[in-house]
Structure 1
């Protein structure tokens, strides 16, 4: 067995132990209750503001603008493998997003394909970032991690609420993190499992979530003292999605 796959099993075994340890109280958190509320509420105007700052224009099966927004209201989850994605007109962009704008963008830009629901993100004045969401584990394994999905030694729930807090940044597409808290459902990851080895595995595998966009270059993603996310990188200005 490769060292890489051994590390993956190590992290998922930790998750399994936490799930078993809190199975009765966790059931509601996994299946019935939403993820931790960070108090971030966004509006449609926050989403439009975020889109304007990024410069991105999205077309989905010929739908754009308000027609696309209406379609999204009743859209169901779909596999990225059933669609063709065309990214074009890449430009370097530098902008800041508020917690509301960031949360709106993450929830609304591609809800049919996004693996995270009811997501909230925020930044504290000291630069600490918080994130909370319900994760579609089943679709994540199929879409982004098929190469290691069969190596997970235990069954995981199809959906799982997560919450994280800590110092996080991205430089040249590489994630760096110093987590203070990481919760799976209601159970916190014990301190002994927040060591460098576990964090290193997360840093190796989580970038697949954003590098799924070909040609995306995140020169830096940090935060400022105003509680905003600060982005500098190269992103596509045109995104076209069509059925295969």
Structure 2
């Protein structure tokens, strides 16, 4: 059975005790209690050790959205920015980041209450594949829809151009759930159509794998 419960404060406390200067990136707080638990653990640990530096980022996204924020943090640290500059630039990156996704199955989103049961059943019955995205508040919204997976993937690629700006400065992250061939196809088409600085492919992990389900694709940039 898939476990979708958020980690409690305990695992965060264990990690906070090991390090003094910490950045944490969580699943959107609108989709999970992970952010709240990370913040609760921060409050608890600062009562033990006031000198620890802990910054918790709400990704307002999921899966590869979190990956891309961590990737950005790594670039900023490597570039030698100080802590305040890193936080400011990362928060700006999160504010501008776009998240788009297409799922082969909506079952787990419906079970988790992220999509209405009736809408999900109608979409499945008519083989309608919604192109979904993250709102600025970190919730899920319908961006577009298409009949069948192939058309939905084409729409997904089109939406990159409609929603993205200054793509030559950005990295496109593609996450897949046991769908490497599909991810490679999107990478190739995106490279032909757009001028991303870099395109990376990762596998979904943790709770994101449950929601993405077999064949799911998530983009963030």
Structure with greater strand percent: 1
Structure with greater helix percent: 2
TM-score in terms of structure 1 length: 0.21
TM-score in terms of structure 2 length: 0.22
